[in-house]
């Protein structure tokens, strides 16, 4: 029984992580479109109904990687900077 509970917990955790990654990819895509239109961070946050502080890392990465895919931008965000 304990193994089954642990397995169920791992499946739940993986689904939660997948949903969060999907949400970030969606936000990155929306931010990229709005950056191309010349919108500022505050305007984008207002349009997306998100806090500026929450989307700032995504916005900064989108701005630093113009033309990159949302997947590449997310990967760059998840990769620790090299020293």
Q: Is 54 contained in some domain?
A: yes
Instruction: Kindly state the tokens that stand for 76.
Output: 């760059």
Please report how the helices 41-48 and 52-64 are oriented relative to each other, as an axis angle in degrees rounded to 10.
Answer: 120
Report pLDDT digits (tens) over 12-67.
888 888 899 999 999 999 999 999 999 999 999 999 999 999 999 999 999 999 99
Report pLDDT digits (tens) over 69-80.
999 999 999 887
Q: Is 76 contained in some domain?
A: yes
Give residue for tokens 């990769």.
79
Q: What domain range is 76 assigned to? A: 25-83
Q: What is the pTM (predicted TM-score) of this model?
A: 0.82
**Residue 67 backbone class (left: φ over 0; alpha: ψ -120 to 50; beta: rest):** left
Q: What is the count of structural domains for the chain?
A: 1
Q: Is 16 contained in some domain?
A: no
> How far apart are the C-alpha atoms of 14 and 16, rounded to whole Å?
5
């Amino acid at each position: 029984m304990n193994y089954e509970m642990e397995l169920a917990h791992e499946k739940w955790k993986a689904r939660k992580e997948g949903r969060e990654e999907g949400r970030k990819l969606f936000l990155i895509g929306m931010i990229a479109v709005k950056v191309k239109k010349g919108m500022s961070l505050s305007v984008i946050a207002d349009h997306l109904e998100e806090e500026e502080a929450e989307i700032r890392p995504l916005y900064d990465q989108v701005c630093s990687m113009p033309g990159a895919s949302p997947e590449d931008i997310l990967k760059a965000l998840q990769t620790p900077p090299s020293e």
